[in-house]
Amino acid sequence: MRHLLLDLGNTSAKMAYYQNGKLGEVMRCSQLEEQDLALQLLQEAPVDVVVLSSVRDVDVSWESKLQSRCRKLVRFQINTPGCLPHNYATPHTLGMDRMAAAVGARALFPNQDLLIFDFGTAITIDRVSKEGIFEGGNIALGLDSRFRALHEYTGKLPRLEKPAAVGLLGNSTQTAMENGVVLGTIFEIEGYLRSFPDHLPIFTGGDAFYFAEKLKTPIFAVYNLVLTGLARIAEENAI
């Protein structure tokens, strides 16, 4: 059976077919393109289950169209079969991309204590126990969001992008900003790693490999961890 996985993030969307235990080519698009692309993918090939995960509000009419073009539409929520048990005090506020990443990490690395870092518009840090319980985590500004904030909330600081390399101290405003943002984020990550020394660290998201290569601690980088989790949800709900 062929399934379609839809991961709608804060600034863009990722989509992929999942069939015979394999994730297909991952397609990325903007918010403006996501509805047309999803409907096009459903038209190109028969799809059994569509799994939709979104951190944003979803257009009801579009969701209805998705439902009409597959056997089963699964709107990924905290009570969807396949979710991990959790200790989250406000489950209705939990971004389901975090739970999907946790499901994917648990599938790839079972029976281990996991610390999951997702580097996107926001950086999320979540813990999954070796018993498979989602224990919650933290949310911080992502790398690009930090650069944007420095520019937009000051009078003269420029709008910068992430640099290829950083030093310990900057000798110009640009290098001071680059070092401050990147090293500040690295120091945060290292603090979590020291606090959970027996956990397996997993990096995912757009900046995962950028930070993975700058850390001395061995980590596992899984670029499409959220989609991997959604694939497990599709299998769980295909019956």
Task: Indicate the SS3 state at residue 62.
Answer: helix
Q: What is the DSSP letter of 163?
A: -
Under the phi-then-psi rule, with left for phi > 0, alpha for psi from -120 to 50, and beta for the rest, what region is 93?
A: alpha
Q: Of the residues 97, 118, 126, 207, which is catalytic?
A: 97
The answer to whether residue 97 is catalytic is: yes
- CA proximity to 105, closest of 227, 237, 238: 227
Task: Indicate the SS3 state at residue 221.
Answer: strand
**Residues annotated as part of the active site:** 97
